[in-house]
Amino acid sequence: MIVLGIETSCDETAAAVSMDGSIISSQISTQTIHQKYGGVVPEIASREHEKLLNDMVSDTLKDAKISPQELEGIAVTQGPGLSGTLITGICFAKGLALGLGLPIIGVNHLEAHIFANFLADPALKFPFVCLLVSGGHTQLWHVKDVNDYSMLGESRDDAAGEAFDKGARILGLGYPGGPEIEKLSISGNRNAIKFPRALMKKGNLEFSFSGLKTSLLYYMDSHKNENMNDVAASYQQAIVDVLITKLKWAMKKTDCITCVIAGGVAANRSLRKNVELMLATEKVIFPELSLCTDNAAMIAYLGELYLSRGIKSNIDFPIQPNLKLA
């Protein structure tokens, strides 16, 4: 089956083609215009998607050597995400589906992040534990099968990616904050400053990063001339320690021997390195870096999986900015 995937949940405009479970073309355009604002401006993001989508889809099909008439389905992000950007992508996808007479399916962006790991390792088997960690979500899931997921824990406040972005702003760094803190921390001492790790009672699978962010703010107020590399490294390590510790607890609770990491923060090299060290006896899967951030490959892949099973959306399906996984 040949399915076109479209992703516009935030500030990445992306399109991809999945054919028989393999991605034959995937293209992404990141909107750098938001950097000067220190974060994504929803209205600007929507307008940028409108400018880019038509050419993006056309170029993706051309790269895949697929004509529009050869497509057998359309998959598009339904949520969660920004309302305006979701509308842009869904309206485009619906118009294409109507014009070509194709079935369409609205895809859960979070679920697609999990299934990006099947692109990294097609031999991945259920069940497994997934650490889903991004700018908007920090969650632990017990993934038992397709559409069979149990949440083990999530953040009570800021997501890990949000903690990186807000921490970077406190340190006077650019946006997005994760890569900036990671870059600064390379030559820093991760043990120089003891930032707090919240909710670390053994077995507690919930997260909280708002206190860590506040701790960084107070620390910088009283340490104006501190080594910034050490601050960044110590702050990053506090986030990584919490994520890995709770991932280990989740695997023990579920008796799973496989874990996958999904979402934008999965691109963090310190997280990758520490997970491999601390879970050396377990099977750990990371998607390649291009599949960590928002992308259409995961949308196309998951869309094809559902459409091939005869599962599709009605043409009038709505956007769901606050869509949950389960």
pLDDT at 176 over 90: no
pLDDT at 33: 85
Q: Are 215 and 96 members of one domain?
A: no
Residue-level pLDDT at 34:
86
Question: pTM of this prediction?
Answer: 0.94
Mean pLDDT of the residues in the chain: 95
On whether residue 317 sits in a domain, the answer given is no
Half-sphere exposure of 55 (CA within 13 A, CB side): 7
Please tell me whether residue 18 adopts helix, strand or coil conformation: strand
Domain shared by 237 and 299, yes or no: no
Per DSSP, the three-state class of 34 is helix
On whether both 81 and 203 belong to a single domain, the answer is no
| Residue that has been written with the tokens 């890995």 in this structure | 244
Q: List, in order, residues 6 or more apart from 182 with CB less than 8 Å away.
A: 236, 268, 269, 270
Q: What is the pLDDT of residues 195-212, one digit of tens each?
A: 999 999 999 999 999 999
Residue 249 domain-assigned (yes or no): yes
Q: Write the CATH number for 33.
A: 3.30.420.40
pLDDT reading at 326 higher than 90: no
- Indicate if 129 and 267 belong to the same structural domain: yes
Residue 119 lies in a domain: no
- What range defines the domain where residue 11 resides? 2-112+292-307
Q: What is the DSSP letter of 123?
A: T
- Specify whether 11 is located in the same domain as 87: yes
> In a 3-state reduction of DSSP, which class is residue 179?
helix
- Number of H helices and number of E strands within the chain? 9, 10
> What confidence tens digit (pLDDT) does each residue in 244-296 have?
999 999 999 999 999 999 999 999 999 999 999 999 889 999 999 999 999 99
Domain total of the chain: 2
Structural domain includes residue 321: no
Handedness of CA 8, 12, 13, 19 (dihedral sign): negative
Q: Are residues 245 and 134 in the same domain?
A: yes
